[in-house]
Amino acid sequence: MPLAAAAVVIAAVWPVKTWADRYLPAGLGYAATVATLAVVFAAFTVAVYFCAAQVVFAFERDWDRFNVLYLRFAQWGELWGWPLDGQEAYGRLIGAARGLLQNVYATLAYLGFIALLVTFGLPEVPALRIKLRETFTRDEQRKVLEAVEDIAVKTRQYLGISTLTSLLTGVATTLLALAVGLDLALVWGVLNFLLNYIPVVGNVIGILPPSLYAFMQFQTATTPAFVLVGLTVIQLAISNVVYPMLQGRSLSLSPLAIIVALSFWSWVWGIAGAILAVPLSSAIVIACEAFPSTRWIARLLSEPEERKGWLARRPKGGGRQATSGEDGD
């Protein structure tokens, strides 16, 4: 998983390295690329810390009101045989906190290893081209290099589309929270921005925290229901319509293939697999498309030719559908 994540990061950041090499010496261009990655990682860390700190501050500020609501939930839980109060509930909370802390430590360890792989992997990209030329015949070189370059281009397109749709989701969520007077509006926007990088699952998770918080804040059914419906509409409009459509056009994956890929890679690698599912599956499709013996696999996972033409708004006419490496990307 760290190796796959590092490959995706290198593919995404390589244009920065190319641009820096045009204006800076080779060593400084490399340093500028690593510095760019460090800035992105720092921004991600600050965003997560900001969300957590704001939520903790809100609970400290309105503890009495939330405590009363918690006691109501505890009474409801006891009626259903799932106590939320007392020593047993305290043990559950401690266990959940320990599990969360272990996940944080594991995530930091993975991120550190990924950063190490990216740092040492960036200088190896030019050497990899030379090794490929020395290993394969001229025709094989062309196919392999075209496939690798196409994978890198599609990965950057996917990350760009994900960032755009995540930004739209975050802004729309923030505006909705401000419109209804929901506290922590910016927190919910940042949370949905980050979670939107996980297809489908992140969309569902992003709806629940602000809806539950709205119920705790307003303690009525009308406003929380409006928040829930509003967030659902936002997610359906952006994440389940625009997002798969743009993915299918840029990555040539069918929506069903995206869902299956998400399920498979999530089963293999958890949340990290969900984030990497689309780039990895796209890489498999492009690699299979490059060789006749595996091209049928790419055809099964790709969008049908008619639908790809409709999604891309291409004019009707003769000629076959361009394959990966032939579409000008």
pLDDT in tens, 190-199: 988 988 887 7
Helices (H), the chain: 2-23, 26-61, 63-79, 86-121, 124-135, 138-180, 185-195, 201-218, 222-237, 243-251, 255-289, 295-301, 305-311
In sequence order, the β-bridge partners of residue 253 are 302
Burial of 224 (0-12, 13-18, 19+ CB in 10 A): buried
Side-chain-side CA neighbours of 157 within 13 Å: the count stands at 20
In sequence order, the β-bridge partners of residue 302 are 253
Query: Which residues of the chain fall below pLDDT 50?
Result: 306-329
- The amino acid present at 184, given as its one-letter code, is L
> What integer pLDDT is reported at residue 311 of this predicted model?
38
Tens-digit pLDDT profile for residues 75-119: 666 666 665 555 555 566 666 666 666 666 677 777 888 888 888
What is the model's pTM? 0.71
> What integer pLDDT is reported at residue 87 of this predicted model?
54
Q: Taking a C-beta distance cutoff of 8 angstroms, is the pair 268, 293 a contact?
A: no
Q: How far is CA 200 from the centre of its chain?
A: 10
Tens-digit pLDDT profile for residues 18-55: 888 888 886 788 888 888 888 888 888 788 778 778 87
Per-residue DSSP letter, 137: -
Structure tokens at 193: 């921005």
